[in-house]
Amino acid sequence: MARRRRMGEFQLIARYFAPLAQGFAGAGGLLSDNAFLPADPRRDIAVKTDTVVAGVHFLDDEKPGLVAAKALRVCLSDLAAGGATPFTYQLSLALPRTWTERWVAGFARGLAADQRRYGIVLCGGDTVVTPGPLTITITAFGRVASGCGLTRAGARAGDRLWVSGTIGDGALGLLAARGQLSAPSLERRYRRPEPRCTLGPRLVGIATAVADVSDGLLADAGHIAQASRLAIKIERERVPLSAAARRALAAEPGLWAPVLGGGDDYELVMAVPPRRERALLAAARAAGVPVTPIGTCAAGEGVTLLVDGRPVRSPVAGYVHF
């Protein structure tokens, strides 16, 4: 009987999702089978799909607005790594059987807030009910000058490796969210990541390879090393840390493992040739995002972590999804 009182799929779309698609002509008010992304002679479309599952990728009892932010922003972070400016997204929402309209309303409000923040509009998707946990898949679309999309594959020997912002706050924030560490500022950062959408598009023509730090700095640098077929050395002393992360590491040096390997930072790690470093610093200033050199690219393979100039066995392999 409780089910009868709830809305059906079409009412849910009309009330909560169609308003999010207003202003995107190709979405047709979510009344048709497809969305249409308009032809553009000069720009490629960058596409990224990410799935987040309750209890796996975000806390089981997370607020709906923060779930919306997390699901969207992990995708926007990937587009930033591609040098692309986001413009639209598709949403697949698999609701648990216990879903409430109140939850959906809060989730839609969270999406609306991020739509304003990042200049994006919903263009379509799907809504189903699952016997499993809440599962959200976002496919995000960005534009980048044709042929100029950034990948992990272009780094060259002699490039320096840089990162944006600070590293380790995401992983320490997860420990804080679980009550294993007291650091409210880091917990906030874990729960509401800040993708580097202002920096990413400015790296076109500057960086030779970019990845976002979602699996952990060492793992994501490793992805660049693998795709670009070269070796990367990272000097641990140079890795930029927040004041809160520095305090946590001073109290417990064992936390270097999550800091370098834990993921969820949503910073950008990039390879930049020395002759483009001035351009990089200007781009970072314009984006309002600090960048720090942390290592080098050379012939060879794999990632080596240096502590006080000496290679150490990598403490972690990155966040393991499985």
Site pattern 276..305 for a copy of itself (x: CB under 8 A)? ------------------------------
Task: Report which DSSP code applies to 61.
Answer: T
| Residue 152 binds a copy of itself, judged by CB under 8 A | yes
Minimum CB separation from a copy of itself for residue 158, in Å?
A: 21
Residues 15, 18, 19, 51: which binds a copy of itself (CB under 8 A)? 51
Q: Shortest gap between Cβ of 282 and a copy of itself (angstroms)?
A: 24
312 near a copy of itself (CB under 8 A): no
Number of residues counted as binding a copy of itself (CB under 8 A): 75
Phi, psi of 293, deg, nearest 5: -80, 135
Phi, then psi, of 243 in degrees rounded to 5: -60, -40
Closest by CA to 81, choosing from 277, 227, 181, 214, is 214
Q: How far apart are CA 124 and CA 115, in angstroms?
A: 14
Token pair belonging to 227: 């795709």
- Whole-number minimum distance, CB 51 to a copy of itself, in Å? 5
* Residues in region 185-244 near a copy of itself by CB under 8 A: 210-212, 223, 226-227
Q: Give 124 or 168: the residue with its C-beta nearer to a copy of itself.
A: 124
**Alpha carbon distance 219, 200 (integer Å):** 20
Please report how close the Cβ of residue 148 comes to a copy of itself at its closest, in angstroms: 9
From CA 318, how far away is CA 170, in angstroms rounded?
A: 13
Which one among 72, 122, 123, 199 touches a copy of itself, defined by CB under 8 A?
123
Angle at 275 between CA 241 and CA 77, to 5 degrees: 45
Handedness of CA 36, 41, 43, 44 (dihedral sign): positive
d(CA 208, CA 271): 6
The verdict on 70 binding a copy of itself (CB under 8 A) reads no
Residues 93-122 close enough to bind a copy of itself by CB under 8 A: 94
State whether residue 268 is helix, strand or coil.
strand
CB of 250 to a copy of itself, least distance (A): 33
- CB 307 to a copy of itself: min, Å: 26
Q: Which is nearer to a copy of itself, 52 or 172 (CB)?
A: 52
Select the span of 143-151, 164-172, 188-196, 287-295 touching a copy of itself (CB under 8 A). 143-151
Distance in angstroms (rounded) separating the CA atoms of residues 247 and 166: 14
